Structure 1
Amino acid sequence: MTSTGDGREGTGRDGPWWWERRRGAVLDVGLGVASAVECAFEGVPTAREAGVPVWAGVLFGALVGSTLVLRRCRPVAVVLVGIAVTPATMGFLLGVVGLYTLAAYEVSRRVLATLAAMSLAGTFVVTYVQTRGDVEADGTLVIVLSVFMAVALTVPPVLLGLYVGARRRLMESLQERADSLERELSLLADRAEERAEWARQEERTRIAREMHDVVAHRVSLMVVHAAALQAVAAKDPVKAVRNAALVGDMGRQALTELREMLGVLRAPEKQPAVREVSAPAAPEEGPTLGELEALVGQSRAAGMTVEVLVQGEGGGYRPEVEQTAYRVVQEALTNCHKHAPGARVVVRLAHREGEVAMQVENGPCEGEARGADLPSGGNGLLGMRERVVGLGGVFVSGPTDGGGFKVSAVLPAR
């Protein structure tokens, strides 16, 4: 049931029968009692004029007036009762409150106009008849007085009901929009939290890849050199000293890169709130393809046979493209140290129009060459694939027909 908009509507329902609120039931019962008392008093002269017992007029008036209790569930019926008893000059409160309630309800405007016109006409006729019989005046004054009484008892309650109903509908619309906005804000907050979590996860993954590339490659070379140092320490002291120096250089380089990475992680205490939900930051400035020859030189110093083939001229690549290309070659060389010690390795780098391609291929292990028992976490190929695909490139890896292994990647230049 729609509320009449006179301050009694609510979100919860705690009233009996057709009332939404308990205070609405109390108000309607009070109005019904007042209307019953009024109609009962007005029923006394009506009964005398009709020649019926007074108690019958009082009872009839009380029953008529008490129908106002039904104004919320049966507003049309209440107005019809008020119109019906208009000739008996009773039901003033019943007619006024009934018309107000009918106008405040969301009923058909045609029904409202019809009932309001009937009430207006009934009040005009009754007032005209009574005034013409009681007052000795000209017809114009009687008509004006009758019109005034009819309009005063009909138009104000209808206009007030229309205003209250329109205001209630406006408030309901505003409340609905506020609820909708609150739901949208809640959804946006949930999405922002999801994006923040996704951004944090992406950042952790990126940092983990960087840590893996730095530590795995440098430490792998250190282990290879340490194994060589152990093998030649007694036979060739000069080579042992050279290997020891290489191990120290590798350790210092690894520490330097780790310090740089940890420096990136030391973010300021106060960051803008928007940054937390934005996409992961681009990789910090790191190694470039210009340092590829030095990277290959470290593997050669560890005893690996590495051939580098470069096609075309590079330059002008984005920092993340250069860093990813470098890391792919670095991780591929690390895997060669781990899984194919003593094998011949070929590094191919091709600068093409709009892209850069790289390939690291190793042949089968020669003779009885053995590695330094380097552990493998199984994350190298996965990390390379994530890096390349994240930049919109293509990554392929797998064994070759000759018994070796090949890693290939193509990165878009822009």
Structure 2
Amino acid sequence: MTTTGETHHEAAGGLWWWDRRRSAVFDIGLAVLSAAECAVEGFAFARRGGLPVGVGVLVGLIVGAVLVLRRQWPIAVVLVSIAVSPASMGFLLTVIGLYSLAASDVPRRITGCLAGMSLLGTLIVLWARMAQDQDRLEFGGWFVPFMAVTMSLGVTGPPVCMGLYVGARRRLMESLTERADSLERELQLLAERAEERAEWARNEERTRIAREMHDVVAHRVSLMVVHAAALQAVARKDPEKAVKNAALVGDMGRQALTELREMLGVLRSHEPKGVSASSGAGAAAGSYGSASGQASETSASASRAPLAAVGAAAAAAAFRAEVEQGPCLAEVDALVEQSRAAGMAVDLSVEGEAVPCDREVEQTAFRVIQEGLTNVHKHAPGAKARVRLAHRPGEVAMQVENGPSPDGADDGARLPSGGNGLVGMRERVTALGGVFVAGPTDSGGFRVSAVIPTVSAGGG
């Protein structure tokens, strides 16, 4: 930024403090005209003052050439014009110098002071010269001061006003350019954040879907495996019981497939079409025009990026709506009966009166009990289990505890486990503002317990 308020960039063909060749040519042309004018006026001044003509012309050339510095040092140009005003030279130097000073970023008090000094100097010189010629004029005494004031104002006023207008307009354009660049950066940041939110939403839904599929399918499959093992054991000894176990296996398999198909169907039916999550942001602009154009492109990019989050959120909302139709605490009895039918000895106790809970709270409590029973099937076949459900003021507590497996239990009946069930339950319970604890008991068994507020942390 120079003192004239112009922002100069590195450009091909720049010369000294000029950013463009045409600016340099323009200023040099003005300096040549000013030098020629001052040389002519210096010639006349030298003849009137009895000085060598060559000296007057040389001084005029040097003084006029100072105008070439108007963009870099406008104060120096105005001071030189004030200094040579008694010699009646430098009209172009004064006008262009005052304009350049007013259009620059020089503080306004300095601009006003120098403009006042130039006005006073021009007024005194004009008054003195016109007073010398008053004898040849036939006007009254009012004419000299009137003409001196009018001409001095005409020389200093218009260039100062024009310079102030051009400087204000230039600063306004710079402000708009800076604002456009800032807006473009903000839009680019918004686009990047939208992409991050879309990716975060996708990851969250992947985790949520994995949890739901684990809860729904793993329990059913574990029961199927238990029934299949029982079927294998009694197939020859008790054909009637074998038929009954086979029917249970078939029913559980069909239920697992139905629930799995419903989940996948929801995801496919709400899959976003034609939405790209990897929208790019516009590049930074180097001028005001390109800044506005690229800001609009970045705005379009930023508007496309949230569509990815909207697409992922649409599938997530649909999946959550489907999940909200899932199990509740009223189905705990049926859940326990399924485990009993698989041969597990389960004791269920319910304390307190059921109170209204958020749907997500009831579903999470049900899943905790379901996961606890599934773990008994997987890791402690033949062990006795106890399920406790307590409704308390402002919270609901649940506990699944099993003893050690009997000594005669077949270790080969233990089912494989990925170790993610308890992790998922802990994340769910803590997300609702509850407490989750799981670990072995002193008797050699295992205990899973949780306490969840009846109103979820996100439900207000």
| TM-score normalised over the length of structure 1 | 0.93
SS of corresponding position for 1:349 = strand
The Cα shift of 1:301 comes to 1.1
Q: Partners in 2 of 1:385 and 1:185 — Cα distance?
A: 38
Aligned residues with identical type, % of pairs: 67
* Contact 1:312–1:351 under 8 Å retained in 2: yes
> Which whole-Å deviations, capped at 9, do the CAs of 1:11-32 have from their partners, x for residues lacking one?
5456333334443322222211
SS of corresponding position for 2:357 = coil
1:305 is matched with: 345
Q: Partners in 1 of 2:29 and 2:247 — Cα distance?
A: 103
Q: Partners in 1 of 2:56 and 2:28 — Cα distance?
A: 22
- From 341, 347, 351, give the equivalent of 2:391: 351
> Which whole-Å deviations, capped at 9, do the CAs of 1:295-320 have from their partners, x for residues lacking one?
11111111110000100121422221
1:128 is matched with: 127
Asked if 1:162 is matched to 2:164, the reply is yes
- From 202, 205, 218, give the equivalent of 2:204: 202
Q: Partners in 1 of 2:403 and 2:414 — Cα distance?
A: 19
Q: Partners in 2 of 1:97 and 1:277 — Cα distance?
A: 63
2:381 is matched with: 341
SS of corresponding position for 2:413 = coil
* Contact 2:2–2:8 under 8 Å retained in 1: no
Q: Partners in 1 of 2:446 and 2:334 — Cα distance?
A: 23
1:236 is matched with: 238
* Contact 1:193–1:277 under 8 Å retained in 2: no
Q: Partners in 2 of 1:341 and 1:269 — Cα distance?
A: 44
2:439 is matched with: 398
Q: How many residues align?
A: 412
The Cα shift of 1:257 comes to 1.0
Q: Partners in 2 of 1:225 and 1:218 — Cα distance?
A: 11
- From 256, 279, 284, give the equivalent of 1:254: 256
* CA distance 1:52–1:13, shift in 2 (3 Å): same
Amino acid at match of 2:437: V
Q: Partners in 2 of 1:254 and 1:236 — Cα distance?
A: 27
1:34 is matched with: 33
Asked if 1:101 is matched to 2:142, the reply is no
* CA distance 1:278–1:188, shift in 2 (3 Å): farther
Q: Partners in 1 of 2:358 and 2:388 — Cα distance?
A: 20
The Cα shift of 1:269 comes to 4.2
Q: How does 1:12-411 map to 2 (within 5 A)?
A: 12=10, 15-134=14-133, 135-137=136-138, 138-265=140-267, 266-267=269-270, 269=272, 273=307, 275-276=310-311, 281=317, 282=320, 283-370=323-410, 372-411=413-452
Moved more, 68-77 or 342-351: 68-77
Q: What residue ranges of structure 1 are gaps of 5+ in the alignment? A: none
* Contact 2:227–2:245 under 8 Å retained in 1: yes
> Which whole-Å deviations, capped at 9, do the CAs of 1:187-246 have from their partners, x for residues lacking one?
222222222211111111000001111221111111111111111111111111111001
* Contact 2:272–2:311 under 8 Å retained in 1: no
Moved more, 355-364 or 102-111: 102-111
* Contact 2:380–2:414 under 8 Å retained in 1: no
1:4 is matched with: 4
SS of corresponding position for 1:303 = coil
Amino acid at match of 2:144: V
Moved more, 291-300 or 259-268: 259-268
Q: Partners in 2 of 1:350 and 1:123 — Cα distance?
A: 99
SS of corresponding position for 1:410 = strand
Q: Partners in 2 of 1:22 and 1:218 — Cα distance?
A: 82
Moved more, 151-160 or 108-117: 108-117
Q: Partners in 2 of 1:35 and 1:217 — Cα distance?
A: 97
> Which whole-Å deviations, capped at 9, do the CAs of 1:366-403 have from their partners, x for residues lacking one?
12112524111111111111111121111000000110
* CA distance 1:49–1:82, shift in 2 (3 Å): same
Q: What residue ranges of structure 2 are gaps of 5+ in the alignment? A: 276-305, 456-460
The Cα shift of 1:341 comes to 0.6
RMSD: 2.1
